[in-house]
Amino acid sequence: MIAAVKLLHVRFTEETHARSRFARELAAARKVDAFCTARVLAADLDGEAPYIASELIEGPSLREIVERDGPLAGEALERLAVGTATALTAIHHAGIAHRDVLARASERIDTLKDLRGKRICLSPGQTTGTMIRERGVDFVDVRGPDPAQCASQVADGSADAMVGDDLLIAGFGARLCDVKVEIAGLRLTTERYGVALRSGDPVACRKINEVITSMYADGTMERLLEEHLGRVGFRFETARPRLETC
C-alpha cells in the first residue's frame, strides 16, 4: 500500500495554534467512513515533525486533465458543474459546517454569553439569531437587507456583530478593507447542508470526487481558503470530507 504523508511545515511546528489545527484535521479525518475516503494509516502530532499518513488514491488532478486535454467545455463542463454540486452535498455530510459570529477585532466575543446586549445584525431568512435567544442569550436586533450590508454595518460600528454560516460570514468579512473583523470561532452548531442537483450521472459524480480528492491532497483547498479567508481568522477544516458514493 502506498501512503500520502502530510507534514506540518517546520516554520509552524513551534506554533500552538498550528498544531491544534493539525490535530483538528486528524480528528475530522478519523470521523469519515473508510469506504468512501482515504483511510488514516498513522499519525504523530507530538513529535518534532508532526505528520498524518493516509492511504494514497491515485488518479490525475484537474490541472493534469486540463493541461493534457485542454479547457473543459460543453457537456464535460456541465458534468463538472453538476458533479461539483454533488461534492458540495457530500462535504457537509461530514459535519464540517458551523454557525458562528463575525465581529470587529476590538470586540471580545469568546463565549456565547459575550453576545448578551450586543447589537447583532440579522438579514431576512436567517435563523441563527433565534437559536441564540433559545439558548438564553438576548441581544439587540439590528436589521440589514442582506449579509453584505450586515458586514458593512459591523465595519462602520452600527452593529457589533453578525451571525450565520461561518463560511458565508467569513467571505463577507474578508471583503472589508478598512477595518479588521474576525470570526469568533464559537462554532455554535455542527450541521449538514444539501444541494439540489440533477440525478443519474455517476460518471460526473466520480470525476468530481476525483477533483475534490485532488484539491485536498495537493493542498489547493487549504491554500485557497487561507488566501481568501485567513485574514478574518476563519478556522477551516483541512481534512478531506466524506464523499458520496456514485
Sheet of 119-122: strand order equals 140-143, 119-122, 161-165, 99-104, 181-183
Select the more confidently predicted residue: 50 or 192: 50
Exposure on the CB side of residue 150, measured as CA atoms within 13 A: 26
**Helix or strand holding residue 183 (H, E):** strand 181-183
Q: Give yes or no for residue 192 having a pLDDT over 70.
A: no
pTM greater than 0.75 (yes/no): no
**Residue 142 phi, psi dihedral angles, 5° rounding:** -125, 120
**Residue 6 phi, psi dihedral angles, 5° rounding:** -105, 125
Residue type at position 217: A
pLDDT digit string (tens) for 88-108?
A: 544 444 545 688 999 998 888
Give me the pLDDT at residue 191, please.
67
Select the more confidently predicted residue: 230 or 121: 121
Give me the pLDDT at residue 84, please.
59
Domains observed in the chain: 3-95+192-232 (no CATH), 100-183 (3.40.190.10)
